[in-house]
């Protein structure tokens, strides 16, 4: 059983598959279908052997680490059309973090061995993967800078701006998972998140139950940049 046509569209949106082209992609995915997950299901655990990478077809997942004191630190949140854990495969074969769905989801798993073979066949692929890794690295470097340099309301504003499809004018974005999760992602406590949201009201940010409406994305972006 292969993938449905809409699923193929989603898969081919991911940079890695785009780089491989449809032929190699199809060969690599083969006739294996996606797995359906309920909310809160584990995809992999920190320390598990990294024998493949994943492509999210539908839903949301969080990548996180458990600190020794039991505190959970969210490293990334993935949404439909994103691949993840592709770099981890090369690091001694173990995942450096855990991953779990935060909503019902459908996830495709691709074998490490198959990817390995594809790279051997087409070394240019390695460069594309290195570029992806670089992108993520740069992202994290940015993040460290932000953590140090930006206040809680600024970090939230930045998060909202990135989520919004528009780059100026009014926008409405959905919050398809708990606010505590966003808070952890942004390196703060739910309480601080709440309070910071209050401060954003002055900038035309109205928070409803499961969505946020923004009066002017550009203004919010300006605030986030200080």
Partner DNA sequence: CGCGGTCCTTGACCAAGGTTAAGCGATCCC
Partner DNA sequence: GGGATCGCTTAACCTTGGTCAAGGACCGCG
Is 83 or 154 the residue whose CB approaches DNA more closely?
A: 154
CA atoms of 131 and 139, how far apart (whole Å):
12
> Rounded to an integer, what is the distance from CA 85 to the centroid of its chain?
11
Kindly tell me which residue out of 70, 92, 165, 202 binds a copy of itself, with binding defined by CB under 8 A: 92
Is 55 or 186 the residue whose CB approaches DNA more closely?
A: 186
Cα-Cα-Cα-Cα torsion 150, 154, 156, 161, nearest 10 degrees, comes to -120
> Could you list the residues that contact DNA (CB under 7 A)?
151-153, 178-180, 187-198, 207, 209
Q: How many residues bind a copy of itself (CB under 8 A)?
A: 40
Kindly tell me which residue out of 9, 45, 191, 225 binds a copy of itself, with binding defined by CB under 8 A: 225
Tokens of 70: 């039991």
Tokens of 101: 């769905």
Instruction: Select the span of 4-12, 83-91, 194-202, 207-215 touching a copy of itself (CB under 8 A).
Output: 83-91
Is 129 or 181 the residue whose CB approaches DNA more closely?
A: 181
119 near a copy of itself (CB under 8 A): yes
DSSP 22-54: HHHHHHHHTTPPPEEE-TT-EEE-TTSB--EEE
Give residue for tokens 């909202």. Answer: 160
Q: How far is the CB of 95 from DNA (least distance, A)?
A: 25
Kindly tell me which residue out of 18, 39, 42, 116 binds a copy of itself, with binding defined by CB under 8 A: 116
DSSP 8-state class, residue 123: T
Is 162 or 195 the residue whose CB approaches DNA more closely?
A: 195
Q: Which residue spans within the chain are E strands per DSSP?
A: 35-37, 42-44, 52-58, 60-66, 72-79, 83-84, 98-101, 105-111, 171-174, 205-207, 211-214
For residue 109, the cross-strand partners are 54
Is 115 or 173 the residue whose CB approaches a copy of itself more closely?
A: 115
Residues of this chain that bind a copy of itself (CB under 8 A): 65, 67-69, 71, 73, 75, 87-88, 90-92, 96-97, 116, 119-120, 123, 126-127, 129-131, 133-138, 140-141, 143-145, 147-149, 187, 225-226
């Amino acid at each position: 059983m292969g993938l449905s046509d809409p699923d193929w569209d989603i898969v081919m949106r991911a940079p890695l598959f785009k780089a491989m082209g449809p032929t190699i992609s199809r060969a690599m995915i083969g006739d294996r279908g996606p797995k359906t997950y309920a909310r809160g299901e584990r995809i992999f655990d920190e320390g598990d052997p990294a024998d493949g990478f994943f492509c999210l077809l539908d839903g949301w997942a969080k990548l996180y680490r458990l600190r020794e004191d039991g505190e959970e630190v969210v490293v990334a949140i993935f949404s439909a059309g994103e691949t993840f854990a592709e770099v981890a495969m090369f690091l001694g074969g173990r995942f450096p973090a855990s991953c779990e769905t935060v909503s019902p989801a459908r996830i495709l798993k691709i074998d490490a061995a198959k990817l390995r073979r594809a790279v051997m066949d087409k070394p240019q692929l390695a460069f594309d993967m290195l570029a992806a890794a670089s992108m993520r690295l740069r992202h994290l470097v940015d993040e460290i800078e932000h953590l140090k340099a930006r206040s809680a309301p600024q970090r939230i504003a930045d998060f909202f701006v990135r989520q919004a499809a528009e780059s100026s004018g009014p926008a409405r974005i959905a919050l398809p998972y708990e606010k505590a999760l966003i808070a952890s992602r942004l390196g703060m406590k739910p309480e601080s998140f709440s309070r910071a949201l209050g401060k954003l009201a002055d900038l035309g940010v109205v928070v409803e139950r499961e969505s946020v409406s923004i009066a002017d994305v550009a203004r919010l972006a300006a605030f986030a940049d200080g």
